[in-house]
Amino acid sequence: MKTVLSTIDEEKVEYVDFRIVDLLGRQHHVTVPAYAVDEGTFCNGVAFDGSSLIGYKSIEESDMVAMPDPATAFIDPFVEAKTMNIICNIVNPDNTVYTRDPRGIALKAEAYLQQSGLATAAYFGPESEFFLFDNVRYASGPSGSFFHIDSEEAFWNTGKEGQNLGYKVRNKGGYFPVQPTDSQMDIRNEMCTLMTKCGLHVERHHHEVATAGQGEINFRFDTLTRTADNLLLFKYIVRNVAAKHGKTATFMPKPIVGDNGSGMHVHQSLFNGDTPLFYEQGGYANLSETALHYIGGILHHAPALIALTNPSTNSFKRLVPGYEAPVNLVFSKGNRSAAVRIPIAAVTPKASRIEFRTPDSTANPYLAFAAMLMAGLDGIKRKLNPRELGFGPMDKNIYDLSDAEKHEIKSAPASLAEALVALEQDHDFLLEGNVFTKEVIEGWIAQKRGEIEQVERTVNPKEYELYYDL
């Protein structure tokens, strides 16, 4: 706290922006002049109306408090007046824990890990893919529904009139092309530069497989809550740099029909002090029994997990075979068609980890990472063996298997509705240590079923094509 207050003075900060996150994972903020921020702000917090945020309080009990976490402070690179951003936890007016605060749930998951004695730290590293479009239009109403996107590098613009310099990205042909085909190199460089200045450790960036401006930037792993903080910062920077260049960024899983979607592959590992718990030389993919049990927990609970890691109706338009989408609930070393992949290239004992490839970035990272950890820990405690449970290993291209062989492989839920039923039936592992509560899970399910109802009741333009003349 004192360090933050000193920085405000030394850097001549004019405003402090306090940030909170709603149940769905959207950030919100309130801005206070720097001269009004003192030690009392960090002890007493900042009041706000909880009834105005999705998933929080009703209007008759709406007073809530945002408690700043000084460890999250950084200088905002997008605001003209020098502004410091600080992430907050949410508490009740009497300073008791608010059980629906997503960041609070993540912190409770880390505390539960410590109390379990199974490990001292869990590390997470998400690979969050995104698109940068030049234009997006959409509408949904009684007189019509549509969406329209455009990108200067999209394959459908090869015949565009006016100045057209070619070098379009072919459908599914966007992995690692050089400039000028990769038209967004400078933009991603700028994003990475700002991420570094804001405290993220950027590892690499590149164009991704899809046409129309799909990219990926990887930043270094960290502890569970800190990684969720970092992911929100990452998305904030991507969106604002895109806007600066007259583009719009989306982390929607499947914005384009007929090409690869955007996932969020999540790398995970456990440590006991400095000792990696997922490594054992000579084991399958050099994995320890602890790691295999953790995988067993992830795959056993995957149908329920997916209600939190893939929580949009659009998520399941990505989770279909043929687009590098990991719909198969198996594990494998190096195999990107499996839900859980064990990286084996250039991996040291401390870098030994598992990668859950199913999630996408519509997930609230605090809830998704906490749920993954709880599933993995349940697997360790119950010694769930992924081999005995029929989850592999599967070290061949699953898409090339015969129909009979594919029939033996368990699949991810085919819809958000299916995933919510699975979560309804399988959530006791999330309640351990009071990390999640029944109220949170019931509220989540109700919110998501409301979204499904909105989508299902909306007339789809495709229905005109299929049924108008019948």
**Annotated binding-site members for ATP:** 203, 219-221, 267-269, 336, 350
DSSP code of residue 24:
T
224 and 110 Cβ atoms separated by less than 8 Å: yes
DSSP code of residue 337:
T
Catalytic residue among 222, 280, 355, 360: 355
Q: What is the DSSP pairing of strand 275-276 with strand 264-272? A: antiparallel
CA dihedral in degrees (157, 318, 457, 311; nearest 10)?
Answer: -130
Q: Which residues are annotated as a binding site for Mg(2+)?
A: 127, 129, 208, 216, 265, 355
For residue 152, indicate whether it is catalytic: no
Angle, CA 27 vertex, CA 187 and CA 51 arms, to 5°: 160
Q: Which residues are annotated as a binding site for L-glutamate?
A: 260-261, 318, 324, 336, 357
For residue 127, indicate whether it is catalytic: yes
Catalytic residue among 265, 300, 301, 341: 265
For residue 336, indicate whether it is catalytic: yes
Catalytic residue among 11, 38, 39, 49: 49
Q: Which residues are annotated as a binding site?
A: 127, 129, 203, 208, 216, 219-221, 260-261, 265, 267-269, 318, 324, 336, 350, 355, 357
Catalytic residue among 69, 208, 222, 378: 208
Q: Which residues pair with 146 in a beta bridge?
A: 139
Catalytic residue among 28, 29, 336, 395: 336
Please name the residue that has the structure tokens 């190096």. 334
For residue 341, indicate whether it is catalytic: no
Distance between CA 91 and CA 88 in Å, rounded?
A: 9
For residue 216, indicate whether it is catalytic: yes
Catalytic residue among 127, 182, 222, 360: 127
Dmax (CA) of the chain: 72
Q: Which residues of 308-326 are buried (b: 16+ CB within 10 A; e: fewer)?
A: bbbbbbbbbbbbeeebbbb
C-alpha distance from residue 249 to each of 20, 129, 131, 342 (Å) = 21, 10, 6, 30
For residue 453, indicate whether it is catalytic: no
Angle of helix 224-244 versus helix 185-197 axis, rounded to 10:
130
Q: Which residues pair with 222 in a beta bridge?
A: 124
For residue 300, indicate whether it is catalytic: no
Query: Which segments of 355-437 does DSSP mark as H helices, in order?
Result: 365-381, 403-407, 416-425, 428-431
For residue 49, indicate whether it is catalytic: yes
Catalytic residue among 22, 76, 101, 129: 129
For residue 161, indicate whether it is catalytic: no
Give catalytic residue positions.
49, 127, 129, 208, 216, 265, 336, 355, 357
